[in-house]
Amino acid sequence: MATTQTSFPVDQRHLKSFGPISTPDRLLLGPGPSNAHPSVLKALALSPIGHLDPFYVDLMAEVQELLRYAWQTDNRLTLPMSGTGSAAMEATLANTVEPGDTVLVAIKGYFGHRLADMAGRYQANVKTINKSWGEAFSIDELEEALSKYRPSILAMVHAETSTGVCQPMDGIGDLCHKYGCLLLLDTVTSLGGVPLFLDKWQVDLAYSCSQKGLSCPPGLGPFTMSSLAEKKLENRKNKVPNWYLDVSLLNKYWGSDRVYHHTAPVNMNFGMREALRLLAEEGLENSWNRHRKNAEKLWNGLERLGIELHVPVDLRLPTLTTVKIPEGLDGKGFTLHLLNNYGIEIGGGLGDLAGKVWRIGLMGYNSTPENVDKVLNLFESELPRFKQNFSVAA
């Protein structure tokens, strides 16, 4: 005999009527995300399939192959973490750091501090060296620290999103292997838009995100580890302390066995596959050159207007430019003015640069000369109107 469950009326008195979602039209020229390519959005809207479906299993292999191309690596263990770039960031440390390991973090901006925080949470003996926000490390500075601390891992940011600095990489991998440590590199704001050669540079661990140079919405975090990093993982005395990010388990799903680990975000990987396909279709060198050309157009245009840039030209990121806010001008008010009146988003400063700079992103699909012209025209026309005692150069 079926049991009758007493039902009570659902109280909807305070629930307003919700219509279908409709997002505002925005041009995202901040530090990320960038606008997704239309064909990526189309791929995301495809009908979901099972995460063990043979079609999806084949697609997973394609995503891995395309990621290896984008990073210029042959690393076997290369995959998109189911999570944002910060999840991939944490995965590099969770899998390789054991309690008591010395991790040296070279900090030159906000995300270096995040690496140090994460390493400490995995009980590393964290050591740091620091540069001013707008500078990069020299080989001599890095060797001095490696010689002093003898770390298991040197962690650093290639493209520092908070400052717009691109760290020169020549010789750093050789230096790390001379001192017997792994090299961990943040490529969140460089993948797809800035020259990256992981194998040539002897990078052992790297991570990125889906929403910047790849022009896919946020939600996946590309991750890769070298054979040396794999050996450190295999020789751990204890289990990886983060189950979700444990690559020894994920490898069974992304490797040849295809053993269930978690329900993968299938549609996000549809989008990632399309984003990486577009990058391969354009060609890495063509993409790098496009980003550089458009960045230089922006830099030259801003300087012609008498606006100062924060980073020396030889260290500037083509994907993200930090612009000094002119004295006496309300930087946050200006960004809100652009957003509310023109639908254009540019970012403010983080950490030490909060209130001091704007951050203009030209990443992936958004890196076009037309977008540069839009920014320059608005800076020329709106800055004088926004603050009467500031005028752009003639």
Mean per-residue pLDDT, 159-180: 97
- ∠ CA 250-253-259, rounded to 5°: 120
Residue 116: which pLDDT band, with cuts at 50, 70 and 90? very high
pLDDT above 90: percentage of residues in the chain:
87
Q: What pLDDT, on the 0 to 100 scale, is given for residue 52?
A: 87
Ordered structural domains, the chain, with CATH: 27-31+284-386 (3.90.1150.10), 38-281 (3.40.640.10)
Per mean pLDDT, which range of 48-52, 288-292, 310-314, 362-366 is the poorest? 48-52
Least confident of 79-88, 141-150, 250-259: 250-259
216-235: pLDDT as tens digits: 999 999 999 999 999 999 99
pLDDT at 257: 80
Residue 76 has pLDDT above 60, yes or no: yes
Q: How confident is the model at residue 387 (pLDDT cuts 50, 70, 90)?
A: low
pLDDT at residue 236 tops 80 = yes
Task: Look over the chain and give the mean of its residue pLDDT values, rounded to a whole number.
Answer: 94
Q: CB of 379 within 8 A of CB of 307?
A: yes
Q: With bands split at pLDDT 50, 70 and 90, how would you rate the model's confidence at 204?
A: very high
**Among residues of the chain, what percentage have pLDDT more than 70?**
96
Per-residue pLDDT, averaged over 235-247, amounts to 95
Segment 352-372 mean pLDDT? 97
What is this structure's pTM?
Answer: 0.93
Is 319 within 8 Å of 213 (Cβ atoms)? yes
Does pLDDT of 328 surpass 90?
no
Least confident of 70-84, 132-146, 242-256, 330-344: 242-256
As a whole number of angstroms, the distance between CA 118 and CA 184 comes to 13
- Model pLDDT, residue 18: 86
Can you give the pLDDT at residue 240? 96
Q: Please give the span between the terminal C-alpha atoms of the chain, in angstroms, as a whole number.
A: 88
Q: What is the pLDDT of residue 394?
A: 47
**Cα 2 to the chain's mean position, in Å?**
55
Q: Which pLDDT does position 393 carry in this prediction?
A: 59
Each residue of 2-26: pLDDT tens digit?
Answer: 555 667 777 777 788 888 999 999 9
Tell me what pLDDT residue 261 has.
86
pLDDT for 391:
53
The per-residue pLDDT for 3 is: 55
d(CA 230, CA 248): 9
What is the number of alpha carbons within 13 Å of residue 25 lying toward its C-beta? 2
How many angstroms separate the CA atoms of 44 and 194, rounded? Answer: 25
Find, among 209, 220, 283, the residue nearest to 60 by Cα: 220
Name the nearest CA neighbour of 269 among 331, 325, 216.
216
